[in-house]
Structure 1
Amino acid sequence: MVVRTINGLNEIVGRVISVLAIIFAAIIIYDVVLRYVFNEPTRWAFDVSKQLFGFYFVLLGGYALRHKAHVRVDILTEKLGRGGQRIADLLGYAIFFFPFAWVFLTRSWEFAERSWAQGEVTYGAIQMPVYPLKMAMCVAAGLLLVQGVAEVLKIVFDRQEASE
């Protein structure tokens, strides 16, 4: 139940956020057409597409972990049996993943909190608020952390999802 809920949450977030790729691609195409066909570049397209790409990139971490799309170094574990691979995966999560995810969560929270308090904005052609993107980093860290919990539970209970 817990694993299914976490997987479902990251699946929904991943699918919703993936639409941003279409939006920022459309903005870039719009800007290129205005710039090179009509000689009327936009002042906002670069900053907006950069912000959207930031949301896209950070918020897909949990989704990527759920679908095993992160880089893995299996050279050492490929020769181990299933039990050895499970132990290596558990150690990897305990030693590397969870400490990283915790630092990412706590530091991004401080980062977002400071940005919100300052009302931080970009200093580009247009002044866009920065704190939503920094808050997205914190949300992304939380999603990544809970997906890590789901992955560990799958290993512990030796359970594979039907969709994988």
Structure 2
Amino acid sequence: MSERKPMTALLHFSRAIDGMSLVLGRILPWAVIIAVLVSAGNALSRKFFQVSSNAWLEAQLYLFGVIFLLPAGYTLLKNGHVRVDILASKLPRRVQLWIEILGVVFLMFPAVLLIVWYGVPNFLASFESGETSPNAGGLIRWPAKLLVPLGFGFLLLAGLSHLIKCLGFLMGRCPDPMQPAGPSEEEELMQELKAELDKADDEGRGDK
């Protein structure tokens, strides 16, 4: 009983982190749409009105940073990151989980912590100095520099959640975190497309 209480609390903490990652994963795709609109608007204004702005160009870069850095925790949650598991996939499941745990603790955490360690002072220096772009009409720089520690901070939390779930699975307290709980987003899209094609085919037969 005494061993179950700490793990129960850790699993609750893990679920809270996963909930945050899921929210980010649902919100951040809008950044892609905004980036496309900003890019298209900037291109059209330059093409037809000979008007361009460094601020809009830099805004695109900031949005790309949001798209690529902030969803890192969501990607880990969905097992969307790259694993070189040609050999590990042939080992027993419990051995695979221990390899995953060692990889998170000794490879992922040190690298992420190092980036956060250097990223935070870099952001603070930019924020305190009011650093701006050297380009005419450019934007302030600290929001872009904030994305680095923020994105890797989310990844650190997601890694901690993943570690807890790996240990929980080995103790028989939660599902396998390396096994997809359901179809991937690509599989869901394919299922939706197949359903639409089947519906259109049925309607075509009905018209005949």
Q: TM-score, normalised by structure 2?
A: 0.73
**By how many angstroms is 1:61 displaced?**
1.0
Note if contact 1:47-1:124 (Cα within 8 Å) is conserved in structure 2. Answer: no
Question: Is residue 2:158 matched to residue 1:147?
Answer: yes
Match of 2:39 in 1: 28
The 1-side partners of 2:101 and 2:13 are apart by: 18
Which residue identity is paired with 1:40? Q
Cα root mean square deviation, aligned: 1.6
Q: Which of 109, 119, 138 is residue 130 of structure 2 equivalent to?
A: 119
Match of 2:86 in 1: 75
The 2-side partners of 1:133 and 1:14 are apart by: 19
> What are the equivalent positions in structure 2 for 1:1-164 lying under 5 Å apart?
1-36=12-47, 38-43=48-53, 44-158=55-169, 159-160=175-176, 162=181
- Which structure 2 residue ranges, 5 or more long, are not aligned? 1-11, 170-174, 184-208
**By how many angstroms is 1:39 displaced?**
4.1
Name the SS for the 1:157 alignment partner: helix
Which residue identity is paired with 1:157? G
The 1-side partners of 2:86 and 2:131 are apart by: 44
> For the pair shown, which has the larger CA radius of gyration, 1 or 2?
2
Which residue identity is paired with 1:108? G
The 2-side partners of 1:22 and 1:124 are apart by: 25
Q: TM-score, normalised by structure 1?
A: 0.91
Match of 2:194 in 1: none
Note if contact 1:24-1:49 (Cα within 8 Å) is conserved in structure 2. Answer: yes
Identity of aligned residues (%): 27
Q: Which has the higher contact order (CA 8 A, sep 6+)?
A: 1
**By how many angstroms is 1:163 displaced?**
5.3
Note if contact 1:109-1:135 (Cα within 8 Å) is conserved in structure 2. Answer: yes
